[in-house]
A and B are shown apart, each in its own frame.
Chain A
Amino acid sequence: MKISLASRIEVALFRHKLFVLMLFVITSVFFLFQATQIRLDASFTKNIPLKHSYMKTYLKHRANFGGANNILISVCDSRGDIFNPEFFNALKGAHDKLFFIPGVDRIQVKSLFSPSTRFVEVVEDGFAGGPVIPADFQATKQGLAIVKANIEKAGIVGSIVSDDYSCAMVKAALLEFNPDTGEKLDTLDIAKKLEQEIRQEFERENITVHIIGFAKMVGDVAEGAKGVVLFFALAIAITAVMVYLFCHSIRLTILPIFCSLVAVVWQMGMLSTLGFGLDPMSILIPFLVFAIGVSHGVQMINSVVKKVALGLTPALAAQASFNALLIPGGVALVSDTVGFLTLLSIDIGIIKELAITASIGVAMIILTNLVLLPILLSYTKIKTTAKVGQLSEESAVWTFMASFATKGPARIILIFSAILFVVAVYKGQGLKIGELHAGAPALHESSRYNQDTFLITDRYAISVDYMSIIIETTPNACTYYDTMATIDRFQWRMENVPGVQSAVSLASISKLVNAGYNEGNSKWRVIPRNQHTLVQSIARVPSSSGLLNTDCSVMPVILFLKDHKAETINTVIDAVKTAAKELGSEHVQFKLASGPVGVMAATNEAVAKAQLPMMLYVYGAVIALCLISFRSVKATLVVVVPLYLVSTLAQWLMTALDIGLTVSTLPVIALGVGIGVDYGIYILSTMSTKLKEGLNVHDAYLAALKERGSAVLITGLTLAIGVSTWFFSDLKFQVDMGILLTFMFLVNMLAAIIILPALSAFLWADKKKVKK
């Protein structure tokens, strides 16, 4: 039945192949046009697990507290002192430019030049105060001296001005929508404006401009992702050489590469048609599609050339190859697609998008490389003397490798694999969830962005690694001593948690203000019990401070952490949960979490939670497809067991190389399994046919090697080399993905030709005896 289905499709397609070809041409033209319309697309919310409880809290209160999507611009004077006219002009310029970028929340723009930056000092008869930069400010020696004195009185050293007075900060929060157009904010456009209108405009000999924040980071990632074009060219060149070495024919080299490029065009066109953009985070997917396409193309050429050598015409050979490869190739590609689709189960937009991008791409390969390629091949002249592979069919290498399928060597292989597995399981337990390095993990430590991050955290008393715990309570709660005292107590407990460097909340500010109202006497640094005094102590704190909403029914406690490593985050999150339970009540609820680290905590939890189901789904899909296509439990086992070993080894590799399980590496595990299964399926499809014909395992494996061995080797190498070009990427996460994918492709290939036959030797052993 199975064969007749493939045959029916074969007959239908090849009878009307000119028509089919025309369809392909028309579709390609359409998708090519669509693909040219594709845009790079990045947004903050795509990177976070929106359904996670932390993120619900975050989204609920984002309007009040600016959330986590901030921009920090530090303008520095390389001479080490900001008090000169040149610097103040640059700072004012940066402030004004940032203020007028559409999408910047203008209320929250803060720097020395914002009117909300004020100082207050205690004098005998009360307070004296004013803006830090007076209205009649002149950048003269005198004017600058006044500003310097005001800065000290305002207590903004460390936040608005760096500790050593060499830099000053402009801060802003970004909106989710562009207020001018009402459209979703174009983060990449903001990043471009920050670079062109602020850094390029104001950075000069003595003035440096350091910009950090999510939008800038994404901009830099997108910039780095442009290097992908170079890698793509490189990958195509290397692949072409590999395929040529395999088939010794320029024509046969061009065809699979051409068909794979068609798959990429279709994928991009399809994405664009469906309204998706290409995220910098998933920009590598097209290449993966290309590499997978070529690897299947190679299988097709391999089959056609071999059949031509047997005396068939190219047309008939192509038709027969189509028939022979539709099932294994189709199963392999469908399992790739399913492998990618399992990623949809993860509640993070960017991973879902990656799943859609990748599964569309792989589905396209079914059409281009299993249908278009054989049709094109059927028009090609192929010499009957044409040969594929460096190894002749009678090569001693195949004979040697076939011995893996005999019990002696198989036993050694299996014992060795078992030991490897146990070690990998043990070592792989150290696998960490989350980001393990300082700075923006997507970028290299030496990148400008991360260097700027280090400079800012070094020179200011602020950390970009902060988390907000949101306290939800009743309206006007900030005027009640009990509520404020509870918040204060909570904050104090958090300050004592290892990893928390400092904390701030309306409660701690009200204590400072209360001391201020009492002549600056530290003995009054308490939350006033008297309600009128309490109101007085918070009345001057504006809601734009991010410490309270308009009716102060919601107040965050902001925790500044020493870093954003997974361990630090977990310690703090656990402490928050315990304290929230003890101190919280119906009226005062402590809710996790906002701020960049709050987002990371949610992402880490979402990734950790997704890991097991994702593995179950991807393996479930692979197992189901193997069962359907081979109709044999044994066949399924010999394919899946080596695959699982490789997944385990990959975890060990991640632990050893300090690569955490993150939004960018989690999908790699699914991709690795989905693509890694291809080798096993190709080898086993020949083997199982031969076994059914009555050959023993050794002979069946030898036959499979002769037929598919070269192609499998070349496929593994092509894929591995294609992704290994990512090692040289400007982007850290691409390097990580490159390492992992290269490993998965190579080692899955090795496992398929070494462990698969060894397992078969035992699983089909009885049958062999019976046959004898």
Chain B
Amino acid sequence: MRLLVFFAVISFISLSPVSADNTTVTEASTTPATKSALAAKSLLLDIAKISKDKVVAVGQHGHILLSSDGESWQQANVPVQATLTSVYFLNDRLGWAVGHDATILHSQDGGLNWHVQLYLPELEKPLLGIHFKNELEGIAVGAYGQFFRSNDGGKSWQSEFHQEFLLADDVDYINDLKAEDEEAYLDEIAFILPHFNGLVQDGRSLFLMGETGLLAKSNDFGKSWQKFNSFYQGSFFSVARTQNGKLLVVGLRGHVFRGINNGQQWQEVPTGTTALLNDIVFADDGRIFILGNNGMLLISDDDGETFTQRTQHDGKPLIAGLWFKGKLLAVSDVGIKVLVLPKT
């Protein structure tokens, strides 16, 4: 049993603006994605709901695909060929997608056309998650603790360095370095933080999950973070709250943890697998699915207390998924898959 450890944090944040203006990103300088016959059958990395009747999936080569039935997919107009890792829609019009080369794309027409808000290939780092709480305020996170914030719907993005995620030893080291050598300091902070793997909104709270057992919660939209006391050394890839109000977090090597009392206590849920677990999906009927690599599908019908394995035969990684019109859709390296489920 471990208690939550709260960090007072605001002072740790250093801000620096990054915007389309000072990095001179114009769409003319990027190569638009090409429409390809196999786009829906090749590596896709995230899938999200745009509306009750429409879903969007993103993946390699700047592929963004739209579908209203989960079977036929239409490719959107995308100005980049970067591999896109995550997509989020605020409503049926406004959506954002992020990916490698620190790319942020935005659509205002329900995903048909996209334009570049941020594109910084020279950073050599991918963005892995994005979230907007309203039409103006949004956060994008990524590898090596990248953290971008916008207050104008993505027109401009400011980079934030969240020092609270540094290890205790590193804090001193960084502070010393900052005093001695500004340049070395800047080099160091570019890669010192753990990867931020994604953002999940849960009511008023925002969850951040990442490398080396990173799981944190913010009640002020990411300005300050409360880290949960470490209960696992590996990476987390998704977090969600069950119907009964329990937290569920999944990560490396088949690890699933169930948080009781808002995460004051964590129990490991045995899964019987060592596959990397990517995503958590809730069905309308209360079942919980966990999607993993090597075709691993875990199913729970007791609010995540126990899971049974339902490995998909082809062994393809199930990278992200959602419940859509009574079906479990998943994306993998062979594109969209409609998963076969046992009868309930």
Contact = CB atoms under 8 A, between A and B. Distances in A.
Interface of A: 121-124, 152, 157, 489, 492-493, 495-496, 519-526, 528-530, 533
B150 interface: no
Listed residue (A124, A519, A522) with the most chain B CB atoms within 10 angstroms of its CB: A522
Given A124-B234, A124-B252, A525 B333 contact: yes
Interface in B221-267: 233-235, 237, 252-253
Contacts of B60: 492, 525-526
Interface string B309-321: 0000001010100
Contact of B100 (A157, A496, A522, A526): A526
Interface of B: 34, 36-38, 42-43, 45, 60-61, 81, 83, 85-86, 100-101, 121, 124, 126, 128, 197, 233-235, 237, 252-253, 274, 276, 278, 293-294, 315, 317, 319, 332-333
B126 A523 contact: yes
Contact of B42 (A495, A520, A528): A495
Contact of A522 (B34, B45, B81, B274): B45
B84 to A, nearest CB: 10
A121 B274 CA distance: 10
Contacts of B126: 523-524, 526
Nearest to A520: B276
Given A519-B252, A523-B85, A529 B38 contact: no
Contacts of A122: 252-253, 276
A242 B317 CA distance: 72
Given A121-B274, A489-B61, A496-B37, 5 more contacts: A519-B234, A519-B235, A520-B276, A522-B293, A533-B124
A542 B205 CA distance: 49
A469 B274 CA distance: 38
Q: Is the interface of A mostly helix, strand, loop or mixed?
A: mixed
A121 B317 CA distance: 15
A492 B81 CA distance: 12
Listed residue (B42, B100, B197, B274) with the most chain A CB atoms within 10 angstroms of its CB: B100
27 contacts: A122-B253, A123-B253, A152-B294, A489-B81, A492-B36, A492-B42, A492-B61, A493-B34, A493-B36, A495-B38, A519-B252, A520-B276, A521-B197, A521-B235, A522-B278, A522-B293, A523-B45, A523-B86, A523-B319, A524-B126, A525-B43, A525-B83, A525-B333, A526-B60, A526-B83, A529-B101, A529-B124
B234 A522 contact: no
Contacts of B121: 529
Contacts of A528: 124
Contacts of A529: 100-101, 121, 124
B315 to A, nearest CB: 8
Listed residue (A492, A523, A529) with the most chain B CB atoms within 10 angstroms of its CB: A523
B29 to A, nearest CB: 15
Contact of B128 (A157, A523, A530): A523
A492 to B, nearest CB: 6
Nearest to A488: B61
A528 B81 CA distance: 14
B319 to A, nearest CB: 5
Contacts of B85: 523
Contacts of A157: 315
Nearest to A512: B333
A522 B318 CA distance: 9
A519 B234 CA distance: 9
A522 B333 contact: yes
A707 to B, nearest CB: 69
Contacts of B34: 493
B192 to A, nearest CB: 15
Nearest to B333: A522
Nearest to A528: B124
Nearest to B332: A522
Contacts of B42: 492, 495
Contact of B253 (A124, A489, A525): A124
Contacts of A533: 124
B61 A522 contact: no
A421 to B, nearest CB: 43
Contact of A519 (B38, B100, B124, B276): B276
A544 B293 CA distance: 29
A594 to B, nearest CB: 24
A122 B85 CA distance: 21
B206 to A, nearest CB: 20
Contacts of A521: 197, 235, 237, 276, 278
B124 A496 contact: no
A519 B213 CA distance: 13
B38 A496 contact: yes
Contacts of A526: 60, 83, 100, 126
Given A525-B60, A526-B126, A520 B293 contact: yes
Given A124-B233, A522-B43, A523-B45, A530 B124 contact: yes
Contacts of A492: 36, 42, 60-61
A520 B318 CA distance: 12
A121 B60 CA distance: 24
A533 to B, nearest CB: 8
Listed residue (A121, A123, A152, A525) with the most chain B CB atoms within 10 angstroms of its CB: A525
Nearest to A123: B253
A530 B191 CA distance: 12
A415 B121 CA distance: 74
A489 B61 CA distance: 8
B60 to A, nearest CB: 7
Nearest to B82: A526
A524 B143 CA distance: 10
A493 B60 CA distance: 13
A122 B317 CA distance: 15
Contacts of B45: 522-523
Contacts of B293: 520, 522
A501 to B, nearest CB: 11
A489 B80 CA distance: 13
A496 B36 CA distance: 7
A578 B10 CA distance: 56
B174 to A, nearest CB: 21
A522 B319 contact: yes
Nearest to B101: A529
A492 B121 CA distance: 21
Contacts of B124: 528-530, 533
A525 B85 CA distance: 10
Contacts of B100: 526, 529
A526 B60 CA distance: 8
Nearest to A163: B314
A152 B296 CA distance: 14
A533 B144 CA distance: 14
Contacts of A493: 34, 36
Contacts of B197: 521
A44 to B, nearest CB: 34
A446 B197 CA distance: 55
- Give 7 nearest A-B pairs by CB, closest first: A529-B124, A530-B124, A523-B85, A526-B83, A124-B234, A496-B36, A522-B319
Nearest to A525: B43
B267 to A, nearest CB: 19
Nearest to A530: B124
A522 B317 contact: yes
B126 to A, nearest CB: 7
B32 to A, nearest CB: 12
Contacts of B128: 523
A178 B258 CA distance: 65
Contacts of B81: 489
A157 B332 CA distance: 18
A528 B276 CA distance: 21
Contacts of A496: 36-38
B102 to A, nearest CB: 10
Contacts of A522: 43, 45, 278, 293, 317, 319, 332-333
A489 B252 CA distance: 31
